């Protein structure tokens, strides 16, 4: 765990100290089960009554899963899918797979057949651990679906595992295969080694103002199949000895969040930005929290102010991606947040803004991470060319644009999301944040629409709150009066809903395609 010290000192003295032998099953379960088997690991709120699960019980469940897999011939290096919602079995499944030396592959319960088919075929996974609902969804696929009903009892598991030692894995040995969201092309499998968890811990600790204080309890509404739920909450919590709450499946709602925080005595939450917006729209109050972290999209000053007023704390933003996560973070315990900025580089992760020549620069450029970050992926599964394209020398390109601001990293947008209008380069995030401060706006996506005169114009797609009314001109004036005159949306369209990924991000690619079609139709009429 990080010792609290001034930020500059933490960065200066931090070194990755990864042992020769490293297996995440030991980090999150087996070591704790050996020294404190009765310690609370997971509080399961998915059933009719709260169910505490100790590290000893989690290990016992994982050994039953391990016996089930070994009995079916799963070996080191095999890919095994995990198609489950938040539950103790989800954690136990990953632990069992890692103990064998196999590769776990988280899969969203929201995936439909095409999404499942592409991932199962690409990974050549032979088995998927799921529930009865998932088993039905996997019907017809060339995989064996395994549910809790297939588990042996503890005595049967012990007999099956006799003579089977945990795999002797190291930091670079494959452990997890996580597919990207696919918003910019066919999903690619990011293959990670057993150092992945160690690489996440510094950023997780900072984003929760030094997670691991007495009384800390973690929860997130994010699915544990997403890297944000799995490695920003579940596995770091287990590794640090911080109890993790498993919440019931289903859509997020402020009422559900309030109930989980209350019943689970939650003190630390990772809220995706969409969840925060929903809480703010209903002015929901969450009592008793010590920290709230958020990542995936930038927050604006208005959201930070609301967090202080509604929850009595400063929301800490963090930044990363499937290929290399938790590399930038805010930490109110160390330095004040800067609205519009994601934070400062997490100790152990060297960040640069690269110019067009691939050199670190002081101005706007490509956000990049130097090789050596422990959370950096091993490469894209069976796609060496795509892996090579991800790097420029010693730097991994995130595909995001940003700039430095007094040691903070300001996010400007995805490289293909930056809007070029009349010679200006405009990031959509700031405009979205501004529109979200309007009392009538529930959600918004901003893209560039092709334009003959200006190359692109700023176009906003807006979802209003129930019963709210506002004109296009009023929203334009709202932005024009708060941001630069050249960056207000010249066109605004009102929609019932925005295209979203399963992780709650606006799919700007879909909005850009819509804007391009509109421009083409207008060009044809002209």
Domains of the chain: 7-409 (3.40.50.12780), 416-525 (3.30.300.30)
Q: What's the CA gap between 41 and 54, in Å, rounded?
A: 5
What number of H helices and E strands is found in the chain? Answer: 18, 26
Q: What does pTM read for this prediction?
A: 0.85
* Terminal C-alpha separation, the chain: 63
Q: What's the CA gap between 27 and 8, in Å, rounded?
A: 28
The DSSP symbol for 199 reads H
| Angle 456-462-468 from CA coordinates, rounded to 5° | 150
CB under 8 Å, gap of 24 or more: what pairs does 35-44 form?
36/241, 39/241, 40/243, 41/91, 41/238, 41/243, 41/244, 42/88, 42/91, 42/238, 42/243, 42/244, 42/245, 42/246, 43/217, 43/243, 43/244, 43/245, 43/246, 43/264, 44/87, 44/88, 44/246
Q: What's the CA gap between 320 and 324, in Å, rounded?
A: 6
Instruction: Write out the two tokens for 167.
Output: 């795999």
CA dihedral 405, 276, 40, 48 (to 10 degrees): -170
Instruction: Write out the two tokens for 387.
Output: 């892996």
Query: Where in 180-230 does DSSP place strands (E)?
Result: 189-193, 218-219
Helices marked H in 190-348 — which ranges?
Answer: 196-207, 227-229, 235-240, 254-263, 273-281, 301-311
Question: In the prediction, which pLDDT does 426 show?
Answer: 81
> By three-state DSSP, how is residue 398 classified?
strand
Whether the Cβ atoms of residue 74 and residue 118 lie closer than 8 Å to each other: no
The DSSP symbol for 249 reads S
Q: What's the CA gap between 209 and 463, in Å, rounded?
A: 34
> Residues 438-468, buried b or exposed e (16+ Cβ, 10 A)?
bebbbbbbbbbbbbeebebbbbbbbebeeee
> How many alpha carbons lie under 13 Å from residue 513 in its C-beta half-sphere?
6
> By three-state DSSP, how is residue 281 classified?
helix
Whether the Cβ atoms of residue 121 and residue 282 lie closer than 8 Å to each other: no
Whether the Cβ atoms of residue 74 and residue 80 lie closer than 8 Å to each other: yes
Instruction: Write out the two tokens for 315.
Output: 């929301």
Question: In the prediction, which pLDDT does 296 show?
Answer: 73
Helix H or strand E segment including 145: strand 144-146
Instruction: Write out the two tokens for 120.
Output: 């199962």
Q: What's the CA gap between 388 and 94, in Å, rounded?
A: 29
Query: Where in 214-363 does DSSP place strands (E)?
Result: 218-219, 244-246, 268-270, 291-295, 316-321, 324-329, 341-345, 351-354
Q: What's the CA gap between 360 and 358, in Å, rounded?
A: 7
Question: In the prediction, which pLDDT does 249 show?
Answer: 87
Whether the Cβ atoms of residue 301 and residue 286 lie closer than 8 Å to each other: no
Query: Where in 356-506 does DSSP place strands (E)?
Result: 365-370, 379-380, 391-392, 395-405, 408-414, 419-421, 424-426, 441-451, 455-464, 491-494
| Angle 195-317-504 from CA coordinates, rounded to 5° | 85
Please give the distance of CA 502 from its chain centroid, rounded to a whole number: 11
Residue-by-residue pLDDT tens, the chain, 526 positions: 888 899 999 999 999 999 999 999 999 999 999 999 999 999 999 999 999 999 999 999 999 999 999 999 999 999 999 999 999 999 999 999 999 999 999 999 888 787 798 899 999 999 999 999 999 999 999 999 999 999 999 999 999 999 999 999 999 999 999 998 543 446 799 999 999 999 999 999 999 999 999 999 999 999 999 999 999 999 999 999 999 999 998 888 999 999 999 999 999 999 988 789 889 988 898 999 999 999 877 788 888 999 999 999 999 999 999 999 999 999 999 999 998 899 999 999 999 999 988 999 988 999 999 999 999 999 999 999 999 999 999 999 999 999 999 999 998 877 778 787 876 668 788 789 889 989 999 999 999 999 887 889 999 999 999 999 999 999 999 998 887 677 899 999 999 999 988 767 888 889 999 999 999 999 888 6
Helices marked H in 124-253 — which ranges?
Answer: 132-137, 154-161, 196-207, 227-229, 235-240
């Amino acid at each position: 765990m990080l010792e609290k010290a001034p930020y500059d000192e933490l960065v200066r003295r931090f070194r990755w100290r990864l042992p020769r032998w490293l297996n995440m099953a030991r980090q999150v379960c087996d070591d704790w089960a050996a020294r404190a088997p009765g310690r609370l690991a997971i509080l399961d709120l998915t059933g009719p009554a709260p169910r505490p699960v100790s590290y000893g019980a989690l290990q016992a469940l994982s050994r039953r899963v391990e016996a089930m897999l070994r009995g079916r011939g799963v070996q080191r290096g095999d890919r095994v899918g995990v198609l489950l919602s938040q539950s103790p079995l989800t954690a136990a499944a990953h632990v069992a797979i890692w103990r064998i030396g196999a590769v776990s592959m988280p899969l969203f319960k929201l995936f439909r057949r095409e999404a499942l088919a592409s991932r199962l075929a690409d990974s050549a996974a032979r088995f998927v651990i799921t529930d009865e609902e998932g088993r039905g969804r996997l019907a017809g696929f060339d995989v064996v679906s395994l549910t809790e009903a297939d588990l042996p009892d503890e005595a049967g598991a012990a007999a099956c595992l006799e003579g089977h030692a945990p795999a002797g894995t190291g930091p670079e040995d494959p452990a997890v295969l996580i597919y990207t969201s696919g918003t910019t092309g066919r999903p690619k499998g990011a293959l990670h080694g057993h150092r992945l968890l160690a690489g996440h811990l510094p950023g997780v600790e900072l984003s929760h103002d030094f997670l691991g204080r007495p009384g800390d309890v973690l929860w997130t509404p994010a699915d544990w199949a997403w890297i944000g739920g799995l490695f920003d909450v579940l596995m770091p919590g287990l590794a640090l000895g911080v109890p993790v709450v498993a919440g019931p499946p289903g859509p997020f709602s402020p009422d559900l969040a309030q109930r989980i925080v209350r019943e689970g005595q939650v003190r630390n939450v990772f809220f995706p930005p969409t969840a925060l917006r929903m809480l703010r729209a209903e002015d929901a109050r969450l009592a008793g929290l010590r920290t709230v972290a958020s990542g995936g999209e930038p927050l604006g000053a208005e959201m930070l102010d609301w967090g202080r007023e509604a929850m009595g704390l400063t929301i800490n933003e963090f930044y990363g991606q499937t290929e290399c996560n938790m590399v930038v973070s805010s930490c109110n315990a160390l330095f004040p947040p800067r609205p519009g900025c994601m934070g400062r580089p997490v100790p152990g992760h060297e960040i640069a803004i690269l110019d067009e020549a691939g050199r670190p620069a002081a101005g706007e450029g490509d956000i990049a991470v130097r090789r050596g970050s422990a959370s950096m992926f091993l490469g894209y599964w069976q796609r060496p060319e795509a892996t090579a394209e991800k790097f420029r020398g010693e730097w991994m390109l995130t595909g995001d644009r940003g700039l430095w601001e007094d040691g903070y990293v300001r996010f400007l947008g995805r490289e293909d999301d930056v809007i070029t209008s009349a010679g200006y380069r405009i990031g959509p995030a700031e405009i979205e944040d501004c529109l979200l401060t309007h009392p009538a706006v529930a959600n918004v996506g901003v893209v560039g629409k092709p334009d003959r005169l200006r190359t692109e114009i700023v176009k906003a797609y807006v979802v209003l709150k129930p019963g709210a009314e506002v004109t296009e001109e009023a929203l334009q004036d709202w932005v024009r009066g708060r941001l630069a005159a050249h960056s207000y949306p010249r066109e605004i369209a009102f929609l019932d809903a925005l295209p979203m990924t399963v992780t709650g991000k606006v799919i700007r690619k879909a909005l850009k395609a819509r804007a391009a079609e509109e421009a083409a139709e207008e060009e044809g009429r002209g």
